[in-house]
Structure 1
Amino acid sequence: MATESNFVQPAISEFDGHYDHWSMLTENFLRSKEYWGLVENGIPVAEEGIKLTEAQQKPIAEQKLKDLKVKDYLFQAIDRNIMKIILNKDAAKDIWDSMKQKYQGSTRVRGAQIQALGKEFEILQMKEGESVYEYFARTLAITNKIKIQGEFEGGLDG
């Protein structure tokens, strides 16, 4: 019988460059923890100049604590070098929006990139004086770029 002490705490998978997959898993995880609202809407802020009662301040303080937990999950999943690149890290929503803007890209742009890579792959030929190893490295570089775009499952035509 499993006990609470040997239960493995689920975590967000580490961001590996495949934003669509990572964001889907991460969103599901955060929804299961009931934290997704913070990512979608951010922390509620009191209007400037309005003095809040202690009872009114309590839910905001609770939301700030939840936001810190979400940020902690995201910090654990995002490499330090990527964290340097994204601009605003003040709140979980800011981190999420920065990641989305940097890594998601529009469907049209991704489609054009995949199409260009497919054409590059189709005309790929071994150059005169090129070793098999060098040719293979160029071929692999193109296929890896296509895979990163997330459209390689069906082949270049699919």
Structure 2
Amino acid sequence: MKVLFKSQDLWNLVENGYTEVANAEAFDALRREEKDILVESKKKDQKALFAIFQSVEEVIFENISRAETVKGAWDILQQSDKGDDRAKRMRLQTLQGDFESLYMHDSESISVYFDRVQTIVNQPRVNGEELQDVQIVEKILRSLTERFDYVVAAIEEAKMCQP
């Protein structure tokens, strides 16, 4: 979401919100340029709020549906994400187990296996945990089928020859 908002030049509104005029009299007292800026900020805010509403699941939408500004909705999302730390830790443990039990099937092509590895590796990233490239490469080398033993041996030999 952050990338979307930045690409649309909306991130500042998401992070900081915008200043709304207290009443009609205060709005009328503003210069024309200031009024135009406020109206444009309100439009951008509603555009960003709509984007959030469209991109979340129904259960999450129920939590943010009362938000009137994008900053309000974003703050609710951030708060609910922090409250979900226990569930996130459990998800990460499950994903770690999936990674550890990963191995290549005899009938599987190397490209299909790499796609499967990439899918499993990307899931922890979504949840805020990054696996090191070394871990991933070592896991792949350990989990290839016997028909790739010569490749694994060549890679390990080349690695040992490096200064």
In the superposition, the TM-score normalised over structure 2's length comes to 0.47
Structure with greater Cα Rg: 2
Normalising by structure 1, what TM-score? 0.48
Task: Report which of the two has the higher share of helix.
Answer: 2
Structure with the larger RCO, 1 or 2 (CA within 8 Å, 6+ apart): 1
